[in-house]
Amino acid sequence: MLTSVDTDLLRVLADPLRLQIVTLLARETLCTTHLVEETGARQTNLSNHLKVLRDTGVVETEPCGRFTYYKLRPQVLEQLAGSFAELAATARETELNNTKRACP
């Protein structure tokens, strides 16, 4: 059975700013101030996107005084990579065997 990819997760990652956040967080754990500097986006805007990423379980927070650190949860990306790899493998096999349903 083919593991279906989570469209909600995809939709969340499909936003350019959110993907930029994810890419930045993959390299190092950052707090909101850093993300404002790096992306050039408004703090409010970032906060909204970070909430979306939090709700989807892509990132998790770690309070540190007045600051809030955001770190990526690698499992989410790993599972996504796995699902796509599986899908690609199935497609390769279909291509190899030329599996095709007959015209009705």
**Residue 40 interacts with, from DNA, a second copy, none (CB under 5-8 Å by kind):** none
Considering the complex, state which of residue 10 and residue 89 has its C-beta at the smaller distance from DNA: 10
DSSP one-letter code for 5: P
Instruction: Please name which of 14, 41, 32, 15 lies closest in space to residue 71, comparing C-alpha atoms.
Output: 32
- Kindly write out the interface string for residues 36-65 of this chain, putting x where it contacts a second copy by CB under 8 A and - elsewhere: ----------------------------xx
Match 């015209």 to its residue by tokens: 103
Q: Is 51 in the site for DNA (CB under 7 A)?
A: yes
Q: How far is CA 82 from the centre of its chain?
A: 13
**Residue 61 interacts with, from DNA, a second copy, none (CB under 5-8 Å by kind):** DNA
The two structure tokens encoding residue 75: 């499992």
> How many CB atoms sit inside 10 A of residue 53's CB?
24
* Residues within the interface to DNA (CB under 7 A): 11, 15, 17, 31-33, 36, 41-45, 47-52, 61, 65-68, 104
